[in-house]
Each structure stands twice: as C-alpha cells, then as structure tokens.
Structure 1
Amino acid sequence: MKNEKIYILIPTYNRAQLLLETLESVRNQTYSFWECIIVDDHSSDDTVEQVRKYSERDKRFSCFLRAEDYCKGPSGSRNMALDIAKERKAQFIQFFDDDDLMHPKKLELQVTLFVKDTDLELSICRYERFSSSAKMVPIDHIELINTISLAEDFLFTRLRLNVGGPLFRAKLFEDERFDESLQYGEEKELFLRILFRYRPKSLVLNQTLFYYRAHEVSLTRIMNSRILKRGSEIVIHQKIWDYLAENDLLNNQAAGFLIRQFLLENHSKEYINKANRYISKESNFSFFSKLRFRVLIGFHEIYSRIIYKLLLIKI
C-alpha cells in the first residue's frame, strides 16, 4: 500500500483561518503517503496566500485557482480537483471540506481495510458535529459493519454519507463527476450514481474519524437553507430516477421509494407519468403492488384537480 497514494481534494472559498485548521489535521495524519489538492474558488480574502505559505512547509499540499471551464461553487472546484488527481494517476480519493477536521488515524484506519481486502472499493466512517473544538477520542480497536445494500440504504436515508467520510478507489470516478448545476446535495447525487452503477464492495468503520463543523447562523439563513435543501432534494430525486432508468439500473426498491417521493412531496406531473409507465411496462412489481401504486396515482390526480379548482375560487 505504500506505493498507492491517497489524494485529498478540498474546495475552498473565503475560509483562510478555518482552512488552516483543516490542513493541520491533514498534516497530522499517521498515514503519510498522500497529496492534498486545494482548489480555491477565487476567494476575496487571503485564502490563497495563506495556503501557499502553508504549502511551502509541506510540499504535499498544492493550491490551484478554479479554472473558468468549471462552474463557480464547490462542485466545480471538486471536479477540477478530480481531473488533476486523474492526471496524477491517483489510486484513492478522499473528499474533504475546508472547515472540517480529520481524526489523526482517519486515513490509516480506512486505507488498512484496502490492504486486507484488495477487492474493497469503498470504506466509510462515522462523523460528529462540533461547534468550537472537536474532542478526538483515541481508537484502540476497529469495529466493522458489513453493508448489504449500500445504494438503497443511502437513498432511503438509512445510512448517512457526509462528503468527508468515504475513502474511494479512484477508478469509481473515471467517468463520473459532480453535477455543477446543483446548489445543494451535489455529493449525495454523485454518490448515489456511483453506488447504483458500480455496487462497490464496501465496509463501514463504526468509529468517528472526522468532525463536521457546525456554524452559527441566523433564523433567516436557516429558513432559506431549508427551502434550498428541500428544492434540491426534489431535483436530486428526479435526476436519480432519470439516471437509473436510462442506464437500466432502476429496481423495484428504488422505484418504490422514488414514486412515493413524487406523490407525497414532488407532485411533478412529468415524473408521476414516468412512474406510471414504469409500473405498467418495465417493472416486475407484483400484481398487488402495481394495483396499489395505480390507485395512489389515481387518487393523486383527483386530489391535484380538486386543489387546483379550489385555488381558482375567488375570495
């Protein structure tokens, strides 16, 4: 494993001081064979200057300005970092945010799993939120959890994957990139594509190995964030349906979940029609399951018409 380098990819924007804390947590890793690629999204503070000074102390860190070929935002910066890592023939990819912290043993414990199992393609760890200082607990043993249906578990939110948790084999990103049109949840959308497409062999480390910084925000920002998050979730479900359907990856578990989202939260006539066609022609749902979904879709159509009529009534 000493010849297989981990590439740590960090997008950043106006986070000079917090980013230095993050980089220090990377520098303190017990596993030392890594490179850290930082892509700055044209910060207006002194982020680039601070990072370049830091990289002079440790040549494993390198800083780039986001090129105009990539959209503004973390997705564009991450895609640029992925392309740089690909040019450098990366074997492993570790995404990380510019304000979070790594446990000193994060890379060592996760990469060791790949040493023990050369077929492994993905290792996952737990994470904790912190606001001021992270309390990093020493790890004396490794507790593993086997995953059976990781793609479905992640789609159904039975398992949470924060962007800084997984360590990936780089080959999983050979043809997949972040969707730069998404303003929120872009990592979820990409991870779902990869999990359903490749069904990677994975293991979960039942230890906290990175720390997610919680920022103080105003009530207005919280409300705006919730609206953005909800809208993005709707778009992500639509994109995942299309991706799975176009690549013949849509199974009944995923379809059933997405149909329920379309009926209960999305209400897009286009996607309800797509779901109806899937139920009628492409699925192997049981007779009673097909009947149940058709009844629900029928009730949804009636309900939508009633609401539409009521909204036209003059008050």
Structure 2
Amino acid sequence: MQPLVSIVTPMYNNANVIIETITSVINQTYSNWELLLIDDASSDETIAILKPFKESDSRIKLFQHNQNKGAAEARNLGTKMATGNYIAFLDADDLWKENKLELQVSQLINNITDVSFGTYEWIDSKSKPLNIRVEALKQLTYNKLLKANYVGNLTGIYNCKKLGKIYTKDLKKRQDWLLWLEALKRSDKPAISIQETIAYYRITEGSLSSNKTNLIKHNFNVYYKGLGYSYIKSSLYLVQFLFEHLLIKKRLIKSIV
C-alpha cells in the first residue's frame, strides 16, 4: 500500500484560481493523497466552485472557518485534520507539476530524508510562465535554513509519522519558515531537494514586495517571536539574514533561457 499524502491548502477568496490548483493535484502521477481544503471565511464563490470536486472525488475534503483567522490558523487546522504519513502544502493560487509527489514520496519511502523540497518556477496571474526559476539547494541543514528561508512552501513535504505533526505560530508572515525550521530541528537528516522544477508559484501584486521595512520587521519576528530569541540575539541573526537573503540566496533565482 502506498503511503498517504495529506495536502493542506488554505483558501481565502481564491475563486479565480482554485480550479486550476485542484486540477494540478488531481493530475498527480502519485494517486494516494487527500486534499484538505481549508476555507478561511471566503466571501466570493470559492465554496460553490468546490462543490462538484468534493462530490466527485472522496479524496477532496473541505473544512471552513466561520471567521477569517489567517494563513497560519488555516494551515494548522489542515495539519490537525490530516491522516496521512506525509504532509505537504499547496497554497490556493499555486500549482504542482504532475510528478511532484511521485518524486518526493520516493525520497521519503527510501528514508533518504524526512523533509523534501524542490525547485519551482514563477507564473503570472494568468498562469503564463515568467521564465524565472528558483533553484533549490541540493541539501539543507537547520543551521543553513536559520540564515534564510530556502524552502519554497509549495514544494515542501515532511514525514509526520516520524517527526510528528508540526503546528506553526500565528505570525502575520513567514510562518512557513518556522514550520520547516521545526521539521529540520526534529529530524536527524538534512532536507534533500528535487533539483528539477516540481511546482509553479503565482506572482501577484504584493508577492515580491520591495518594502524594506517589512523585510526587516517580519524576519526579525521569526527570530524574536517565533524562535524566542532575545532582542539582541534576534538583531544579530537579522543582520546575518539580510546578508544571506540579499547576497547569497538571490543567486538561486535565475532566468530560463
């Protein structure tokens, strides 16, 4: 029996893209999955659009918040309801390549790693390629991840039977970074990547914010509020983060010729 993969997808007013996202899961070459759709009190047509998918495929499950609670709480609810051996994340506006799960489950089954991630590409609001690839490091240790977030959340998957379920703190931004830090902290192995493209990240207005104040504030809070470091220690790590993020991590973002 193939291990079950639980896929957690938070949604909030994603009626314009959710069909394509769900279809990218249905088209996976690896078929033993459950898709946990967590609606965070959408006010558009998202729920109506989901109805035929839910009725025609028992692997698709819908859970709803009565009021908007944010991405962290939505992901945590999905994690709580997950019944799979492995947990993966796919935001409601992103897409997976057809062999994404097949490649990563192979890594996890063979005990190569407890945490898998991979390379992804950018698409625009209409799903057209932007010819930009974000390459994944071949492997990733906790200490390297502590310097900057190298895991594209839409590519990440972890072995929850071994590591346990991981719930993230309710920060406004960067909750996913905290989640992958905790996963590597619990594991006795580095994360291993899939070097080929396995997912597509949708670039929308605000996706690539150049607001330096937010860059500093949200990432400082990962260290200060998320990891509980002192103010001084958090400040020192933030300096290290800015160097890593602006000078080293940027080298992984490449044009596709």
Task: Answer whether TM exceeds 0.5 for this pair.
Answer: yes
Q: Offset of 1:54 from its aligned partner?
A: 1.9
The answer (yes or no) to whether the contact 2:158–2:183 under 8 Å persists in 1 is no
The structural deviation recorded for 1:124 is 1.5
1:4-30 Cα shifts (integer Å, max 9, x gaps): 110111000000121111001111111
Counterpart residue identity of residue 166, structure 2: E
Q: How far off its partner does 1:74 sit?
A: 0.7
| SS of structure 2 residue aligned to 1:177 | coil
Could you tell me how far apart the structure 1 residues matched to 2:240 and 2:199 are?
A: 35
Shift of 1:37: 0.4
In structure 2, the residue matched to 1:104 is 98
Q: Which amino acid aligns with 1:18?
A: V
Between Structure 1 and Structure 2, which shows a larger proportion of strand residues?
2
Q: Within 5 A, what are the aligned runs for 1:150-299?
A: 150-157=141-148, 160-171=150-161, 174=164, 176-180=166-170, 182-217=171-206, 222=209, 226-239=212-225, 241-242=227-228, 260-261=236-237
Partner in structure 2 of residue 72 of structure 1: 69
CA distance in 1, matches of 2:158, 2:223: 23
- The percentage of aligned residue pairs carrying the same residue is 26
Q: What SS class does the counterpart of residue 124 from structure 1 fall into?
A: strand
For residue 194 of structure 1, report the CA deviation from its aligned partner. 2.5
> What are the residue-to-residue correspondences of 1:23-172 with 2, within 5 Å?
23-66=22-65, 72-85=69-82, 88=83, 90-115=84-109, 117-118=110-111, 120-131=113-124, 132-134=126-128, 147=139, 150-157=141-148, 160-171=150-161
Partner of 2:252: none
- Cα distance in 2 for partners of 1:242, 1:161 equals 21
Deviation of 1:60 (Å): 1.2
Q: How many residues align?
A: 236
Q: Offset at 1:192?
A: 1.4
Taking structure 1 as the reference length, the TM-score comes to 0.66
Instruction: Quote the RMSD (CA, aligned, Å).
Output: 3.2
Structure 1 residues 171 and 229, CA gap change in structure 2 (3 angstroms): farther
User: Scaled by the length of structure 2, what TM-score is found?
Assistant: 0.80
Q: 1:55 Cα shift?
A: 1.6
In structure 1, the gaps of 5 or more residues are 138-143, 246-255, 267-315
Measured after TM superposition, the shift of residue 52 of structure 1 is 1.9
Q: 1:265 to 1:30 in 2, by over 3 A?
A: closer
Deviation track 1:269-315 (CA, whole Å, cap 9, x = no partner) reads xxxxxxxxxxxxxxxxxxxxxxxxxxxxxxxxxxxxxxxxxxxxxxx
Deviation at 1:154, TM superposition (A): 1.5
- CA deviation string 1:63-115 (max 9, x = no partner): 110267xx700110110111101xx3x20111110000100110111111223
User: Separation in 1 of the partners of 2:28 and 2:241?
Assistant: 43
Closer/same/farther in 2, CA of residues 188 and 33 from structure 1, 3 Å limit:
same
Residue identity in the other structure for 1:121 = D
Q: Kindly state the Cα deviation for residue 3 of structure 1 after the two structures are TM-superposed.
A: 3.3
- The structure that has the greater radius of gyration is 1
Shift of 1:241: 4.8
